[in-house]
Chain A
Amino acid sequence: MNSMTAAPPSMPRRARAVLVAFTCVVAALPARGEDPPPRVLSMRNDIEPVLMKAGCNSGTCHGNARGQEGFRLSLFGFDPDLDHRTISRDLRARRVDPARPDASLLLQKATGAVTHGGGTRITPGDPLYQALRDWIASGAPNDPAPPPALVGVDLAPAEALLKAGGASVQLSATARYADGSTRDVSSLAVYESLNDHSAVVAPLGLVTSKNAGEAFVMARFGTFAVVSQVIVVADQPFEWPASIAPSNFIDQAVFAKLRKLQMLPAERCSDEIFVRRAYLDVVGLLPTPAEFERFMADGAADKRARLIDELLGRPEFPELWAMKLAEILRVESTRLNTKGVEIYSAYLRDAVQRNVPLNQIARQLLTGTGGNYHVPPANFYIVESDPLLVAENVAQAFLGIRIQCAQCHNHPFERWTQDDYYAFAAFFPQIGRKRAEDPRETIVFNSASGEVTHPRTGKPARPKFLGGATPDIPPGADRRAVFADWLAAPENPWFARCFVNRVWAHFFGRGIVDPPDDVRVTNPASHPELLDALARQFVERNYDIRALVRDICASRTYQLSTVPHETAAHDRRNFAAATLRRLPAEQLLDAVSTATETAEKFAGLPLGARAVQVSDARSGSYFLETFGRPARQTPCTCERRDEPSLSQALHLMNGATVWDKIRAPGGRLTRLLNAQTPTEKIVDELYVATLTRRPTDAERTAAAAYLATAGDARKGLEDLCWALLNSNEFVFQH
């Protein structure tokens, strides 16, 4: 009965061809012969993989939380018992017919024999069909006892180097089970290329190269997703010039990867570009013309390093990082009110200023006990009170992991299961909150009672570190402290990596894992060894942000030009050139103010305060909102929007912010005009103040020509200033 002849005669020719192809590679399914011993197929190890391979239990099909047309499967098969019941019992058991297996609704639908919204998923006679059919014929049994659990999947080769333009490699996936057995599941794994531009993957795991670059190919089997790195290199001679030498360990890692990819890094950027880049990245400010001139006049070889040291000592450095932490920690006045926001922000500024090790800051936040006006870290648990959301925030903020999906189902692109989710959340249900005497204040404490109930088992979940051990916590002990100890320990696998990656992303415009708060197997690091090295150094230097920034800024990689070498013209992942990126909202507004020498007014801050100092995300500012300031409703880095919009362009061109600042009575232009400064000098200063460079001769000529036609010198210079502030060179970090 396993014979191919069971396929209906109406089977299309193409399907038969596919079926032949399957037969060639499927080793895992029962081989068909004349008299095959009837093998009882396992719901977990045989049927679920078929449902996954055929796409039945994907999120867009029956794996959707509401299922499709009354048929709901657990997403990617994370709940085999539920699936077994659904398939074999629900709908009056009409989905399976052991007496006439081919007439089973399950197969009729999947083959498209009866109307199926999902179309034809399998073909009668093919191995997937056959597996389902055999299982139905044997009575569609559930596993009498759970078979050895799947403990991992290996994908080989882990790394492949292909020449561009059609070279191929076959991936092979091997499943590992708890009893030590293995199984080739190459035919059952679901493949996907994460970069179709460089390599594509066929349904059975054949990878074919396209353009030069790097592609990660993902294979999913069971609850595991694994990736293989495929490097596609151009089919041409490549040589690394001796002149491009690494400055430090960062360059070593980045350049090693570039060599492998046969790409060359961009040139080292000019001093003008470096001084602008360093100011904006390290302290969030444009250099003033005086600061620019001082740097340019410095002839010492180590002047770039000294500039970084100087900037790290300025008060704007902790302010910038306090703002970035405040985004992750969701500091805004809806939940904290203005006083809470002020106290929380001041605490973060002070902690960064005093160089409190970052793991200590995290520990203080995670274990804050007391009133949030008196113990500022206690604000952390006032921002969010639902234990599940607290767990999600902690995972995303401190571990860079988004575990939200696993609340309802096993994570489709990650190893986290629903059990992991609730075990992790179980660290946070015993957080007591009560109103303090001041009605605006809340006291946070260890309430020593409360549990997180696992929705499937209905039982309290036991705290377990994400991807780690299940600690023994005596009743009443502060679970937060146990968690904080794990998080802040040097050997924690996530925390240091997550944070160095966030810092890296700040300086390079993209993370080594990008986005930096979405660490998962299927979003692999572009430079895993570099991430490890940065994290190791960070831990060894007692979580010192300034030392990390110093390393990054000293690297040649950070100092590259934005103009890529032709060998890396299309690369966006390997830091072969600096990334062009629009200035974040706060830095852009501060840059406009610095360039025009004008003061901005924010609620709760004195005139002249900088946008970076605004503690409350709800502090109204049309400019900041238009340019994508995050509302701090989630810890997600995705809240900060950097996509361009018409309102941004219009606001810069016609909005009050730019025009009023250009014309401000106390502004730069007015000052220069009042001082009877020669026009050429004004033009020069406007260029330096906005673009951090002197104008080129052509620009000087063009400016002079325009000013000559403008008639009124002031009006002409206002126009020039407007043009500079609206130029991409001003609006972008480069």
Chain B
Amino acid sequence: MFARRALLALLLLMPHAALAGSPALNLILPRGAQRGTELLVNLHGERLAEPQTLLFYRPGISLKSLESVNAGHVRATLTLAPDCPLGLHPIRLVTSSGISHVRLFAVGNCPEIAEAEPNSDRRTPQRVTLPTTINGTIDAEDVDYFAFDAAAGQRLNFEIEAMRLGDSVFDPHLSVFDAAGAVVASADDTMLVRQDCVISHVFAQAGPYTVAVREASFRGDGNCRYRLHVGEFPRPQGVYPPGGAPGAAVDVRWLGDPACSTERVTIPETAAGDFALFPCTPAGVAPSGVPFRVDVLAQTLEVEPNDAIDTATPAAAPGALAGVLQAPGDVDWYRFSVVKGQGYDIRVQGRSLRSPIDSVIGVRRVGGDQSADNDDAAGPDSALRFTATDDGQCALYIHDLLRGGGELYTYRVEISPVVPRLQLSAPPEFQHLAVPQANRNAMVVSLARQDYGGALRLAIGQPPAGVTLLGAVAEGPAGVEMPASLNTMPIVLEAAADAPLAAALCDFVARPADGAATPTAAFAQTVRLTEFMDNTMAAAELSRLPVAVTRRAPFSIQLDEPRVPLVRRGRVDIRVVAQRADGFAEPIPLRVLWTPPGVGSGTATIPADKTDATIALDANDGAALGSWPLVVVAVANVDGPLQVASQYAHLQVAEAQLDLALERARLTQGAQGEMLVKAKRKAGFAGTATAELRGLPKNVSAPPLQVTADAAEWRFALSAAADAPVGRYDGVYVAVTIPLEGGAIAFASPANQLFVDAPLPPEAPQAAAPPPPPGQPPSDPGRRSRPARRPEFAPGGAGGGT
């Protein structure tokens, strides 16, 4: 380890090459392309110098060449395979200094054209030839008109990709006009594609028509980009059954498009979870898929009539139930056997498969009292856990909250045995790890645990050469350990000095640390692309972690191992030392990447002319005890922000040595008083510690005390100047410092009150109330003291007026 650090320090002393900070990729133009073509795309952003490669999350697109135009513009030549999957492809740009945001690039099947203004008047539309995919932009209050001819009886589909592209909150609206200007069809939102929309229209009469694109509330700006697909391609809006098993051949019925009806589809053996089917006819293929749930559960299809418990469709648990609410008001019932004590997770896949259903489900014990129901536990979909109290039959019903129904109201109810489940992810601010050569970088990972409390081992599969995942608790070829007590944790990657510049999308998994085969968790992160009032409007679902080796950074940081524990209600300073490359004189802001529960941290900056700084950590009353991994990250300006991380240190969180309790105290201006502290030994300490009263008002003082661990009562001598401000002071506490070799343990007592009173007026000598004896609370502790008491109310007063 020492040798590695020495090497790192040595390397840092070498003059650094010009290095830009983390790249920001803002836009890819055009927004998509036809598969089976090669094209030049423009990537726009900031700090895009020295582009290295593109990371593609989905297969089918390959990078032929990459060329830097300037720091804000990169040109890439892409090759789209003829069988490239249709739809949106997440892409990141890697430069020599970092990894960009994720952006989406759309792949279509139709010939592509670009919108050409002027086309904002229905009388001067842009003429298009079908099938086509039009790439356009809606400016402020813009309407784009495109003219085409339709034959009598011809069915055409229109699908727009806009909100989905993730460029801006652009809610598109489509309408089709006939030659006379009458609207023959329009759409705003289509369930299958959310705020984007689809029109399927059979043209009764041959003739010229126009299709218009606008923003739903007639807004728009230069960022409102869209791709409008128009053609005879199939565009069903649903499929029944909505799911099946991997490898199965399923006879499906396409819904919502009369031009395609049934098809036998074979589900790939490797398919899992959320999968999409692309209906394909001689006229083409749908521009986007129809979600289809793939799971090993045996699937029972509903048998109508099953509108009542008596006619419930027989099924099995575990298993999947698939049906459709055929008409408004429809309710579907199923019956299945359950085993006493067996827990079942029952979850509806409805809206998640883009069915319009807003499900409500209920489970009833047949002939028993036990029941459970749910509306929205899984978004608009329903979910509940049901544990049978007896062997027997259960009945399950499902209906729409608004009692809607129709051919698209498909659903699948999955009844699974309760098994441990894990989901590995990361908070939104951590999406990738770019590690400079001979340096480190870190991120926080999060784990959602369901019915599993064990320790886990995290492993990154096949990172770029020379990159190592460091372990805080234990590290090795199998990965680093995440203790059973944690659901979030920092991880640190280190790149060797000689690691070549490279990037990869890495599998990132969590497995039981005890070697058990299940449960396992793969990394999955939903990256928000656009938002409306902190709600996600467009997102990319990503399942691999981007890791890159980048050019050397002109600085690195090292965290000194804290030599004293952080105790509850205590504080400790940690020291961070920076190694600066020659000539690098930027301030280096620091922050603690992650703290255990109950521990807070400050921030610090290593000034431009310094190489170290300290960061304060503090623990509250309930801080989690134990040894915790500690990592500090530094983000300095290198023509843009660049982040590196320290190595792991270990933070010990412990109980305080003493339990302290302050008594409330009262003091008169210009007088002496006392504050009593009761101390109870806990872990204790050797020798003496310094105790100091803090939070005293101005002009009130108390000399510090030297105390031992066994002193049960400490008395601070208080003295108030004549001008000490009168009032109640709630924040008085004792700060204890226990000197130790290599540092000091510091902690504080809970606060209590000190009252400062004005002296009584001299003309009423008998009214002078003695200060409350130490240890006794004053009679009216909650009230602010008056400057002077009125004599008639003074204890023992004569009751006369003034």
Of the candidates B143, B219, B532, the one whose C-beta lies within 8 Å of that of A440 is B532
The reply to whether B402 and A339 form a contact with Cβ atoms under 8 Å apart is: no
Which residues on A sit within 8 Å (CB–CB) of B358?
443
Query: Is A722 in contact with chain B by the CB < 8 A criterion?
Result: no
Q: Mark A598-628, 1 if CB is under 8 A from B, else 0.
A: 0000011110000000000000000000000
Query: Is B793 in contact with chain A by the CB < 8 A criterion?
Result: no
Which residues on A sit within 8 Å (CB–CB) of B171?
339
Of the candidates A370, A439, A604, A605, the one whose C-beta lies within 8 Å of that of B533 is A439
Query: Is A434 in contact with chain B by the CB < 8 A criterion?
Result: yes
**Cβ of B117 to closest chain A Cβ, rounded Å:** 15
Which residues on A sit within 8 Å (CB–CB) of B189?
373-374, 438
The reply to whether A434 and B217 form a contact with Cβ atoms under 8 Å apart is: no
The reply to whether A604 and B141 form a contact with Cβ atoms under 8 Å apart is: yes
**Cβ of A353 to closest chain B Cβ, rounded Å:** 13
- The residue in chain B whose Cβ has the minimal distance to the Cβ of A434 is B376
How many residues does chain B have at the interface if contact means C-beta atoms less than 8 Å apart?
A: 23
The reply to whether B218 and A604 form a contact with Cβ atoms under 8 Å apart is: yes
Q: Which of B211-235 contact A (CB under 8 A)?
A: 216-219
Which residues on B sit within 8 Å (CB–CB) of A436?
380
A604 to B218, CA, bound (A): 5
The reply to whether B141 and A437 form a contact with Cβ atoms under 8 Å apart is: no
Q: Which of A575-609 contact B (CB under 8 A)?
A: 603-606
**Cβ of B151 to closest chain A Cβ, rounded Å:** 30
Query: Is A338 in contact with chain B by the CB < 8 A criterion?
Result: yes
Q: Mark A361-384, 1 if CB is under 8 A from B, else 0.
A: 000000001100110000000000
A153 to B99, CA, bound (A): 84
A604 to B216, CA, bound (A): 10
With A437-B194, A438-B189: A342-B217 Cβ-Cβ less than 8 Å: yes
**Cβ of A598 to closest chain B Cβ, rounded Å:** 18
Query: Is B802 in contact with chain A by the CB < 8 A criterion?
Result: no
A686 to B606, CA, bound (A): 75
Query: Is A22 in contact with chain B by the CB < 8 A criterion?
Result: no
Query: Is A445 in contact with chain B by the CB < 8 A criterion?
Result: yes
A339 to B537, CA, bound (A): 15
Which residues on B sit within 8 Å (CB–CB) of A604?
141, 217-219
A89 to B402, CA, bound (A): 54
A339 to B171, CA, bound (A): 9
- The residue in chain A whose Cβ has the minimal distance to the Cβ of B534 is A439
The reply to whether B219 and A373 form a contact with Cβ atoms under 8 Å apart is: no
The reply to whether A342 and B218 form a contact with Cβ atoms under 8 Å apart is: yes
Q: Mark A407-444, 1 if CB is under 8 A from B, else 0.
A: 00000000000000000000000000010111110010
Query: Is B580 in contact with chain A by the CB < 8 A criterion?
Result: no
Q: Mark B311-332, 1 if CB is under 8 A from A, else 0.
A: 0000000000000000000000
Query: Is A341 in contact with chain B by the CB < 8 A criterion?
Result: yes
**Cβ of A337 to closest chain B Cβ, rounded Å:** 8
Which residues on B sit within 8 Å (CB–CB) of A341?
217
The reply to whether A445 and B216 form a contact with Cβ atoms under 8 Å apart is: no
**Cβ of A725 to closest chain B Cβ, rounded Å:** 28
Query: Is B46 in contact with chain A by the CB < 8 A criterion?
Result: no
- The residue in chain B whose Cβ has the minimal distance to the Cβ of A435 is B535
The reply to whether A439 and B532 form a contact with Cβ atoms under 8 Å apart is: yes
Query: Is B379 in contact with chain A by the CB < 8 A criterion?
Result: yes
The reply to whether A445 and B141 form a contact with Cβ atoms under 8 Å apart is: no
The reply to whether B402 and A370 form a contact with Cβ atoms under 8 Å apart is: yes
Interface-centre pick from A342, A343, A605 (highest chain B CB count, 10 A): A342
The reply to whether B401 and A339 form a contact with Cβ atoms under 8 Å apart is: no
Which residues on A sit within 8 Å (CB–CB) of B404?
370
With A369-B402, A370-B402, A373-B188: A338-B217 Cβ-Cβ less than 8 Å: yes
The reply to whether B216 and A342 form a contact with Cβ atoms under 8 Å apart is: yes
Q: Which of B378-407 contact A (CB under 8 A)?
A: 379-380, 401-402, 404
Of the candidates B143, B380, B402, the one whose C-beta lies within 8 Å of that of A437 is B380
Of the candidates B141, B217, B219, B401, the one whose C-beta lies within 8 Å of that of A606 is B141
A370 to B191, CA, bound (A): 14
Interface size class of A (residues with CB under 8 A): 20 to 34
Which residues on A sit within 8 Å (CB–CB) of B219?
338, 603-604
Query: Is B351 in contact with chain A by the CB < 8 A criterion?
Result: yes
A337 to B219, CA, bound (A): 12
Which residues on B sit within 8 Å (CB–CB) of A434?
376
Query: Is B126 in contact with chain A by the CB < 8 A criterion?
Result: no
**Cβ of B621 to closest chain A Cβ, rounded Å:** 37
Which residues on A sit within 8 Å (CB–CB) of B376?
434
Query: Is B52 in contact with chain A by the CB < 8 A criterion?
Result: no
A605 to B194, CA, bound (A): 25
Which residues on A sit within 8 Å (CB–CB) of B195?
438
Which residues on A sit within 8 Å (CB–CB) of B380?
436-437
A436 to B379, CA, bound (A): 9
A374 to B195, CA, bound (A): 12
With A438-B195, A443-B402, A445-B401: A605-B532 Cβ-Cβ less than 8 Å: no
Q: Which of B522-536 contact A (CB under 8 A)?
A: 532-533, 535
Q: Which of A326-344 contact B (CB under 8 A)?
A: 338-339, 341-343
A688 to B358, CA, bound (A): 59
With A369-B402, A604-B141: A439-B379 Cβ-Cβ less than 8 Å: no
Q: Mark B4-47, 1 if CB is under 8 A from A, else 0.
A: 00000000000000000000000000000000000000000000
A12 to B514, CA, bound (A): 104
**Cβ of B189 to closest chain A Cβ, rounded Å:** 6
Which residues on B sit within 8 Å (CB–CB) of A437?
194, 351, 379-380
A610 to B565, CA, bound (A): 73
A374 to B404, CA, bound (A): 13
A440 to B404, CA, bound (A): 21
- The residue in chain A whose Cβ has the minimal distance to the Cβ of B537 is A439
Q: Mark B174-189, 1 if CB is under 8 A from A, else 0.
A: 0000000000000011
**Cβ of B537 to closest chain A Cβ, rounded Å:** 8
Which residues on A sit within 8 Å (CB–CB) of B217?
338-339, 341-342, 604
Which residues on A sit within 8 Å (CB–CB) of B141?
603-606
Q: Mark B405-447, 1 if CB is under 8 A from A, else 0.
A: 0000000000000000000000000000000000000000000
A1 to B504, CA, bound (A): 107
- The residue in chain B whose Cβ has the minimal distance to the Cβ of A373 is B189
Q: Which of B263-307 contact A (CB under 8 A)?
A: none
Interface-centre pick from A373, A440, A603 (highest chain B CB count, 10 A): A440
A369 to B329, CA, bound (A): 14
The reply to whether A605 and B218 form a contact with Cβ atoms under 8 Å apart is: yes
A606 to B143, CA, bound (A): 9
Q: Which of B335-390 contact A (CB under 8 A)?
A: 351, 358, 376, 379-380
Which residues on B sit within 8 Å (CB–CB) of A343?
188, 216
- The residue in chain A whose Cβ has the minimal distance to the Cβ of B188 is A373
Q: Mark A437-468, 1 if CB is under 8 A from B, else 0.
A: 11110010100000000000000000000000
**Cβ of B239 to closest chain A Cβ, rounded Å:** 19
- The residue in chain B whose Cβ has the minimal distance to the Cβ of A369 is B402
Which residues on A sit within 8 Å (CB–CB) of B535?
439
A659 to B534, CA, bound (A): 44
A110 to B532, CA, bound (A): 63
- The residue in chain B whose Cβ has the minimal distance to the Cβ of A607 is B141
A606 to B171, CA, bound (A): 18
A342 to B379, CA, bound (A): 27
Interface-centre pick from B218, B351, B380 (highest chain A CB count, 10 A): B218
Which residues on B sit within 8 Å (CB–CB) of A373?
188-189
- The residue in chain A whose Cβ has the minimal distance to the Cβ of B404 is A370
With A373-B189, A374-B189, A445-B401: A438-B194 Cβ-Cβ less than 8 Å: yes
Q: List 12 A-B contacts (CB under 8 A).
A: A338-B219, A342-B216, A369-B402, A434-B376, A439-B532, A439-B537, A440-B532, A603-B141, A603-B219, A604-B141, A604-B219, A606-B218
With A338-B217, A443-B358, A605-B218 given, name 14 new contacts (CB 8 A). A339-B216, A342-B216, A342-B217, A342-B218, A370-B402, A370-B404, A373-B188, A437-B351, A437-B379, A438-B194, A439-B532, A439-B537, A603-B219, A605-B141
Question: Considering the complex of A and B, which 4 residue pairs feature the smallest CB-CB distances, nearest first?
Answer: A439-B535, A338-B217, A342-B217, A604-B218
Residues of B within 8 A of A (CB): 141, 143, 171, 188-189, 194-195, 216-219, 351, 358, 376, 379-380, 401-402, 404, 532-533, 535, 537
